[in-house]
A and B are shown apart, each in its own frame.
Chain A
Amino acid sequence: MVENRPFLTLLTHLVLIIGVVVIVFPVYLAFIASTRGGGDFMSGVVPLMPGPHMIENYSRMLTAGLSTYGAPPVWQMLSNSLIMALAVSIGKIAISITSAYAIVYFKFPFRFLAFWLIFITLMLPVEVRIIPTFAVVANLGMLNSYPGLIIPLIASATATFLFRQFFLTVPDELMEAARVDGAGPMKFFRDILLPLSRTNIAALFVILFIYGWVQYLWPLLVTTDTRYYTIVMGIKRLAQVADADPLWNLVMAAVMLAMLPPVLVVIFMQRLFVKGLVETEK
């Protein structure tokens, strides 16, 4: 603080409080809706105070879902999302760290080409190649399966770059010492490079877990079987019915459950989250 200006400090808090209220309000409203009974949405406007039906609504969505509307129980969709988010983040880290290792610690023909091929994936998000990618996955027989949900998403240029940058900062002497002591490339990778990368891996994991969890378009394309619905796409189906039938309390309970895991990850791993976010984007 350069100087003491009480009025400006007051204004600062005011701005931040308004900001927080605006950010939190949509979720507060959803939470309130998820605690009310079904009849509360028949008349007029959404209530602003919590109701007594919270446990009832949440347990009904978790265990039974709205099967009459083609939505499976939420616990099943949550576990699909968890499987997908974990597999996508671990898969991305695994194949990126080995690629970066190959690019930094070896010299071989086509090294430059390999680096550029990986770089190109940055420019081809799913959104610009929807139909042909769907066709490839369909031809490989991977529709409605976990591999179909996961494998096409695990190529990662940003993770490869991050690990490449990090490996370049690792002192050369470490590798020279390891070689003098007779360590082969895989032993050096496992016993020296991996332990050194621990914080980077953790930070990246937080970001990629969120990335995997919030995927929507891809699951929407490759799953038609309700057994493979992820929570984020299942919610969309639920919301469509909610507009016809006022089942807002149940839909919003599912919305809260879909939001909770990644939001908790951000709140409780804030340091790693910020590190991962700032570093992957450089």
Chain B
Amino acid sequence: MQTKRTIFPNKGLPYLLLAPQLVITFVFFLWPAGQAVKSSFEREDPFGFRTTFVWFENYQRLFREPSYINSLWTSLVFSVAVTAISMGVSLLLAVAVNRLLRSGRIYTTLLVWPYAVAPVVAGILWWFMFNPTIGILPYVLDALGINWNHRVNANHAMILIVLAASWKQISYNFLFFVAGLQSVPQSLTEAAAIDGAGPFKRFWTIVFPLLSPTTFFLLIVNINYAMFDTFGIIDASTSGGPAGATNTLVYKVYADGFLGLNIGSSSAQSVVLMAIVIALTAIQFRYVERRVQY
């Protein structure tokens, strides 16, 4: 690993400089994570007196549990939908802003602020709009003959959280797409224009392929976001309901462990989630670091 050509000779000082970060990492990250792994192999009796080592029983139970399989499926649908919608919309907006010279800045300012909105607040805003009794959108939908009620209809609940989560993520994707578009050399598009390629052809054959490093990076980040950072949105709008229709993996860990106090199962779920984050981080660092270059 890289250092400087010359270094300071001190022996104790670097440890002192690293100490605060390492102590916090150990106490609040590594130790709890180890505990989660440990208790995922254990079963506690109902009174909490004894714990027995049960090997993979918690995992076997977990993957036999229909509600967990349902939660896996829910997370998958949710992540794919949020990633597709927020990336698609923000690419469109970024391409549009990139075409403009002066007014682009104003549009950018108007589009980026939702990044700073807390997920819970985003959940409440959309929940308010879709509120079956007083919300504006159910009123409009009613005129179209759709009876909106996300409290009883599983699909409606899923649409609600997908929209809220995508809404919040658009600003982030937008900024990265704009940065990516600005690094596409103008000379290439000009050359293509001289050769007679129209704007749409230029986009699909030149700009979009050159944008692929950004797109791939955002793909990973968005899946990560949809899996782990949307707890607040779900808690504020549907609380995992109706009947588990929006119970994503992260929400289920919280509901089973913190509200339901089922430590063994919750720990096994935590370990599965850790495996997912590790996989996503590994992909991100393995492939995104040495981006696809032309």
Find chain A residues with CB under 8 A from B100 CB: 12-13, 16
Chain B stretch 129-156: residues in CB contact (< 8 A) with chain A: 129, 131, 134-136, 139
- The DSSP consensus for interface residues of chain A is helix
Q: Contacts A105-B4, A127-B231, A131-B257 known; A95 to B129 CB distance under 8 Å?
A: no
- Chain A residues with CB below 8 A from B274, complex form: 123-124, 128-129
A270 to B116, CA, bound (A): 12
Tell me which residues across on chain B come within 8 A of A106, comparing CB atoms.
Answer: 3, 7-8, 10, 13-14, 17
Contact A131 B125 (CB under 8 A): no
In chain A, residues 82-138, which have Cβ atoms closer than 8 Å to a Cβ of chain B? 94-96, 98-99, 101-108, 111-112, 114-115, 117-118, 120-125, 127-137
Q: Is B68 an interface residue (CB 8 A)?
A: no
Chain A residues near B167: list those with CB within 8 A: 22-23, 26
In the bound complex, what is the Cα–Cα distance between A25 and B129 (angstroms)? Answer: 9
Q: Tell me the minimal C-beta distance from A273 to chain B in angstroms.
A: 8
Q: List 27 A-B contacts (CB under 8 A).
A: A2-B202, A15-B93, A16-B93, A19-B111, A26-B129, A27-B125, A29-B125, A45-B135, A45-B139, A103-B1, A104-B2, A108-B11, A114-B22, A130-B266, A132-B36, A134-B258, A135-B35, A184-B8, A185-B13, A214-B116, A216-B119, A235-B124, A239-B124, A239-B127, A258-B121, A259-B121, A278-B175
A270–B124 CB distance below 8 A:
no
Interface: B81 (CB within 8 A): no
Size bracket, chain A contacts: 35 or more
**Interface size counted on chain B using CB atoms at 8 A:** 101
Chain B neighbourhood of A101, CB < 8 A:
17
On chain A, the residues within 8 Å of B28 by CB distance are 133, 136-137, 151-152, 155
Tell me the smallest distance from the CB of A172 to a CB of chain B, in Å.
5
Bound Cα distance A186, B11 (Å):
14
How far, in Å, is B103 (CB) from chain A's closest CB? 8
State A105–B92 Cα separation when bound (angstroms): 45
Cβ contact of B24, chosen from A1, A95, A112, A123, cutoff 8 A: A95
Annotate B175-200 by CB proximity to A: 1 below 8 A, 0 otherwise.
11001000000100110010000010
- A225: min CB distance to chain B, Å: 18
Is the beta-carbon distance between B13 and A233 smaller than 8 angstroms?
Answer: no
Complex alpha-carbon distance, A12 and B35, angstroms: 54
Question: Is A24 in contact with chain B by the CB < 8 A criterion?
Answer: yes
Decide if B48 is an interface residue (CB 8 Å cutoff): no
Contact between A46 and B134, CB atoms less than 8 A apart: yes
User: Is B199 in contact with A8, judged by CB distance below 8 angstroms?
Assistant: yes
For residue B50, CB closer than 8 A to chain A, the reply is no
- The listed residue (A108, A124, A217) touching B254 by CB distance below 8 A is A217
CB-based contact A29/B32 at 8 Å: no
A270 to B22, CA, bound (A): 33
Is B128 touching A136 in the complex (CB atoms < 8 A)? no
Interface-centre pick from B97, B118, B167, B172 (highest chain A CB count, 10 A): B118
Taking Cβ atoms with an 8 Å cutoff, the residues of B that contact A are 1-8, 10-11, 13-15, 17-18, 20-22, 24-33, 35-36, 39, 89, 92-93, 96-97, 99-101, 103, 107-122, 124-129, 131, 134-136, 139, 167, 170-172, 175-176, 179, 186, 189-190, 193, 199, 202, 217, 221, 228, 231-232, 235-236, 250, 253-254, 257-258, 263, 266-267, 270, 273-274, 277-278, 281
B89 touches which of A19, A45, A105 (Cβ 8 Å): A19
Bound-complex Cα distance A121 to B24 (A): 10
How far apart sit A95 and B217, CA to CA, in the bound complex (Å)? 28
Contact B18 A125 (CB under 8 A): no
Are A16 and B107 within 8 A (Cβ)? Answer: yes
| Cβ–Cβ contact B121 & A235, under 8 A | yes
A residues 1-24 near B (Cβ < 8 Å) are 1-3, 5, 8-9, 12-13, 15-16, 19-20, 22-24
